[in-house]
Each structure stands twice: as structure tokens, then as C-alpha cells.
Amino acid sequence: MKQTTDSTIPAFSTEVLKPRTAPKNIAVKCPECKEIILEREYRKNLKTCPRCQYHFRLRAHERIELLVDPDSFIEEDEDLISIDPLHFVSQSQAYAEKLAQEREKSGINDAIVIGHATIEGRPLALGVMDFQFIGGSMGSVVGEKIARVIELALARRIPLLLVSASGGARMQEGLYSLMQMAKTSAALARLSEAGMPYFSLLTNPTTGGVTASFAMLGDIILAEPGGLICFAGPRVIEQFMHEKLPEGAASAEFLLQHGLLDRIVSRQELRQTLAQLLRFYSQSTLHLAAREEIIHIPRNQTKRGLYYPAHQGVPERAKTQIRLRVRSRETEET
């Protein structure tokens, strides 16, 4: 990976910054290149390492703040909480008890935050996973919230963004967790049939049942650099197959090389990239919107909705664009 050296970073003695002597939170250590990054620098770089570009994990609310227009995010269904259908007990702790503890510790009710917001004024529905809550595992609440945010995108005819960070399906809910793979995939199929775009952003780590369902079903699949993306981790595969995997076989870079991702985007460029995609796709959904006699006018949002009612017809400019698109498609085909 490209390394950058920043001459503005002050030289300092590592002696002074040893965790034992330094006050808490003054610096963080990069787990990749072992660089000590001052807190100020760390925040300025959006929690990435200035030396090796290692991307530290973000909480869901930090991710949302980073991506969407200020104060535009409206959270939905934040009150949904899991029950303990299997009366699961692990290491002498009941799952119900663990859930309560995790809610207290993480400040959120389950491993995903969903809602809607705007990026550069363009609306989108979004769901952002939070690894802090039981390793971002997908139980029935995560699956339900994903299904609901897909339905929100469908109902409002706005694009969808899901940001994954997950250790996979939640074992404490057994089959109920596995069922979420089918449920989220089925909901996405409906979104696809309606012609609405879905952007999937994979962050470190995206694994297990999440990779095997909604995370890999994006129309556009983006990933942050260096992220671990796989179904089963490399160590598990090696133990099972008795074979050594190639270096970095589960990294975002490896997946990109093998055609499983569309692009790796650094955190600094994420917002801009998503804004660009939204711009592009609001043009391409115009055709469909016109066919259904609904036209999406992002710049002229009203409190009640984002659409012109059918009786107002399709604006002349939109018609021209549709004609152009249809014509260019015909040229491609011939």
C-alpha cells in the first residue's frame, strides 16, 4: 500500500509517549505499522494512520457523522431490541443478560443504526453496523432493521446505503440469525426489482453471514482499504483445508483484484464518492421514475415527500434525458 510521510508530524521521543507515562487518550498506536499517532492528528485523519493508512474502526454514529450532511440524519426504529428466543447461556451468562450489558456498554440497542439522511442534499436511506455491539453480529433485530430500511428506501424511492462491520450471524440466536440472511436478501431483491440502487460499503471486518447475504449484494460494492472481508476467516479455512492461503487472501485488495469489489475508497474520499454515486444514480433512476409517473426532484424537497405527484407530469428536461439514455442504450445494443 502507498505510504505517505508527513513532514509536519513532529518528531518526538517514544519514551515520553509510553502508555504507562502518558495521560490517557493523548496518543494511539497503529496496530499495523506501530506508529504512535497523536490524538489530534488521529481525529484530523478521520481515525486513519497517517503513515500506513490503516483504517481504525468507527462507531456507527461516527460513520454517519462522517458521511452525511450535518443534522440531516433521522434515526428510525431505534427502540427495537432482541429477545432471547433460545434461552441461550454461554460461559454461565444468559444471552438476555448479555444483551442488557451490551446495550449499557455501547449506548445503542443493537448492532445497527438505521434511518435516512442526505449527502450533498440528495436523500438516501442508510443502515450502519456497529462492531462494538457483540462484534456487529446479525441477529433478528439487525435483520429486521435492514429489512425495514430497505422498505423505507422502496417507499420513498431513494437509494440505499448499508455499511457493514460484522463478525457474522449471532450464534446466541441460532437459526433465527441465519434466517436473516434470506430475509435481507429477499428484501433487497424487491429493491432491485423496483430499480432502486443499493450501495454496499464493507468495512473492517465484514465476515460470515453478513458477507454471505446483503453485504455482497450491492449494485456497487465499495470497501475501505485493508479491511478483512471473507465468509470464513483465513485461519479457519487453513485448518479445514490443510492448505496455506495466499498472503492477504481475505483482504479488500485481494477481493478487488479478483473482481468481487467495485472499488476501494479511502475514508477521506468516501463522502465525495458516495455523493458522486448518488448524483449518477439519481439520473439513471429518472427513466424508471418517469415510467411510474413519479419524478424525483432532489433540489426541490418538500416536507411531505420528495416527488412530484403524477398529475404534474414529467418535466421537459427529464424527458430529454430519458430520450438520450434510451438512445444511447440502443446504440450500445446495435
Interface with Zn ion (CB under 5 A): 30, 32-33, 35, 49, 51-52, 54
Q: Which is nearer to Zn ion, 49 or 160 (CB)?
A: 49
Phi-psi region of 120 (alpha: psi -120 to 50; beta: other; left: phi over 0): left
Q: Which is nearer to Zn ion, 47 or 296 (CB)?
A: 47
Q: Which is nearer to Zn ion, 49 or 277 (CB)?
A: 49
Quickly list DSSP for 241-283. HTSPPPTTTTBHHHHHHTTS-SEE--HHHHHHHHHHHHHHHHH
CB of 227 to Zn ion, least distance (A): 15
From residue 210, how far is each of 138, 295, 304, 308 by CA, in Å?
7, 33, 34, 36
In angstroms, how far is CA 61 from the centroid of its own chain?
Answer: 12
Contact 129, 165 (CB under 8 A): yes
From residue 268, how far is each of 34, 168, 235, 274 by CA, in Å?
21, 27, 31, 12
CB of 20 to Zn ion, least distance (A): 21
Q: Which is nearer to Zn ion, 34 or 323 (CB)?
A: 34
Contact 202, 223 (CB under 8 A): yes
CB of 30 to Zn ion, least distance (A): 3
Distance CA 207, CA 233 (A): 8
CB of 31 to Zn ion, least distance (A): 8
Q: Which is nearer to Zn ion, 30 or 149 (CB)?
A: 30
CB of 37 to Zn ion, least distance (A): 8
CB of 259 to Zn ion, least distance (A): 28
Contact 252, 232 (CB under 8 A): no
Q: Which is nearer to Zn ion, 47 or 116 (CB)?
A: 47
Q: Which is nearer to Zn ion, 6 or 71 (CB)?
A: 6
CB of 3 to Zn ion, least distance (A): 9
Could you tell me which residues come within 8 angstroms of residue 17 by beta carbon, excluding any fewer than 6 positions away?
Answer: 26, 27, 36
